[in-house]
Amino acid sequence: MNSIYNLLQNTLKDNLSIYFTAGYPSLIDTVKVIQELSKSKVDFIEVGLPYSDPLADGPTIQESSQKALQNGINLDIVFDQLLQIKATNKTPLVLMGYLNQLLKYGEEKFCQKVIDCGIDTLILPDLPMVEYENHYKSLFDSYGINNVFLITPQTTVERILKIDSYTKSFIYMVASSAITGAKGEISEEQIAYFERIKSMNLRSKLIIGFGISDHQTFSKACEYSNGAIIGSAFIKYLGENGTEKIGDFIKSVKPN
């Protein structure tokens, strides 16, 4: 069974996920970042696969992706790094990438590598629903991989209900229609959106991302969901402080 699914069944609220880019700040930091996040008791970790054209990512994550690529990162290296810590890592991992990466690497080869690394959850923001229904659902099911769908304030009720029916891990609830990045306080408009989705009483667990950056925004997001993901703010911190003070950042977001 999906490790993220089990986590969210047992811990119903205040789940903190941290996104970081593999191979950043340096090529060999992937393992260290995961170890430090796990030590800091992050609930689950989203590992970003560096990509040259990351459509959903804001400038901070784009810059980290470019730096990682300049460092020499590629999918083979990422998978090798993840295999290194498979036996010792106890914190569930999610892989976030783009469909073209999977296609270029080879669908079957990619899926096998994901499973070999002990990961069963993928986020592919640009995977069209029709492609998922016609092909990738059966492919992912055959490997025991779960796909995470994103919803935004503009997502129709019909699509949300369809996503809810397919979800085996969590629905990624995008806090705004913009790209990723720290946005400051959560607006009344966003709260209305959160309340609307919460009132739908969906079967699936909800994790909020995009614009979550600190204790205040994390806590507010958790009032309307099962947890939240912080990406850009953590990557900025990582770029400024390196891997030695990761625990300080996590404590500032989730003191307990």
Mean per-residue pLDDT for 106-113? 98
- Ordered by where they begin, the domains of the chain are 3-253 (3.20.20.70)
pLDDT tens sequence across 116-125 = 999 999 999 9
pLDDT at residue 255 in the model:
87
Q: What is the pLDDT of residue 14?
A: 94
Q: d(Cα 24, Cα 151) in Å, to the nearest integer?
A: 28
Q: Which residue has the higher pLDDT, 180 or 209?
A: 209
d(CA 83, CA 194): 37
User: Residue 136: pLDDT above 50?
Assistant: yes
Across 210-224, average pLDDT = 94
pLDDT band of residue 36 (cuts 50, 70, 90) is very high
Catalytic residues: 46, 57
> Confidence band (pLDDT; 50, 70, 90) for 155?
very high
Among 22-26, 33-37, 51-55, 64-68, which is the least confidently predicted range? 51-55
Tally of helices (H runs) and strands (E runs) in the chain:
13, 9
What's the token pair of residue 199? Answer: 């009132």
Report d(CA 31, CA 41) in Å as an integer. Answer: 16
What is the per-residue pLDDT across 57-76, written as a single tens digit (0 to 9) for each? 678 888 999 999 999 999 99
User: Tell me, what's the pLDDT at 5?
Assistant: 85
pLDDT class of 1 with cuts at 50, 70, 90:
very low
pLDDT, tens only, 205-216: 999 999 899 999
Torsion of CA 242, 248, 251, 252, to 10 degrees: -90
Band of the pLDDT at 159, cuts 50, 70, 90? very high
pLDDT score recorded for residue 183: 52
Whole-number pLDDT of residue 243: 95
